[in-house]
Amino acid sequence: MLNYVWLSLMAIAIVAGAINGKLPEVTKAAFDMAETSVSIAFGLIGIMALWLGILKIAEESGLNTLLAKVIRPVSKRLFPEIPADHPAMASILLNLSANWLGLSNAATPFGLKAMEDLQTLNQDKEEASDAMVVFMGLNTAAITFIPATIIGVRLSLGSAAPQAIIATTIVAGLCATTTAIIVAKLLQRLPGFKRRQSGIDSGIEGGKKS
């Protein structure tokens, strides 16, 4: 699917750029963004190291397992394939919490760790598991309880009530999150998206042992 999205973005950009006479800008954007990507990745090294270090402590102390057990009542419904005390649950929880609090700096390292943990449970290493898609849905549709960035912008523009949008943001985020869960759970059963191997597409039974 990303194949089509990617191809469409590029194809539309080149056609539209030609029609609008903006091909030089398109070329420049391509080179600029390639450079930006690397600075983003490099900028991530330190923060990634910091949180992976902290997470390692959580792992060795058993805090991860403890967290996973605490949220088990909710997580077993959302992620039936993840075993009760698996560390993936802790990194997922940390990633989502960081998103909820609007702490984007911490969210990415936790999220990438969560994907790594989920990948250890995944049978086909090249294909997304049901749990991964649910996690991605929760992540990209994340509710933000403290939309710090936008409050900052509103404040700087002289808003009389910069935080007036917190409640509406939470409601809209709830719509997105609910939809993400429902759609992910529905689509994972459809023939086009269902996993091919037997045993791992049936949720609870499939996740037990590999």
Partner 1 sequence: MSETLSMVAGVISNLAIPLVMLLIVGYGFFKKVKVYEAFVEGAKGGFEVAIKIIPFLVAILVAIGMFRASGAMDFLIALISPATDLIGLPAEALPVAIMRPLSGSGSLGLVTEIMKTHGPDSFIGRLVSTMYGSTETTFYVLAVYFGSVGIKKTRHAVPTGLLADAAGLIGALVICKLVF
When the beta carbons of 159 and 210 are compared against partner 1, the nearer one is 159
Contacts of 105 by beta carbon, 8 Å cutoff, 6+ apart? 47
Q: Minimum distance between the CB of residue 90 and partner 1, rounded to whole angstroms?
A: 10
Given the complex with partner 1, which of 73 and 158 has the nearer CB atom?
158
Compute the least distance from the CB of residue 148 to partner 1, in Å. Answer: 5
Minimum CB separation from partner 1 for residue 129, in Å? Answer: 9
CB 108 → partner 1: shortest distance, Å?
A: 8
Q: How far apart are CA 201 and CA 207, in angstroms?
A: 9
Handedness of CA 60, 65, 67, 68 (dihedral sign): positive
Residue 180 DSSP symbol: H
What residues contact 14, with CB distance under 8 A and at least 6 apart?
23, 26
Judged by beta carbon, residue 74 or residue 104, the one nearer partner 1 is 104
What token pair was written down for 49? 């190291």
Residue placing its CB nearer to partner 1 in the complex, 17 or 80: 17
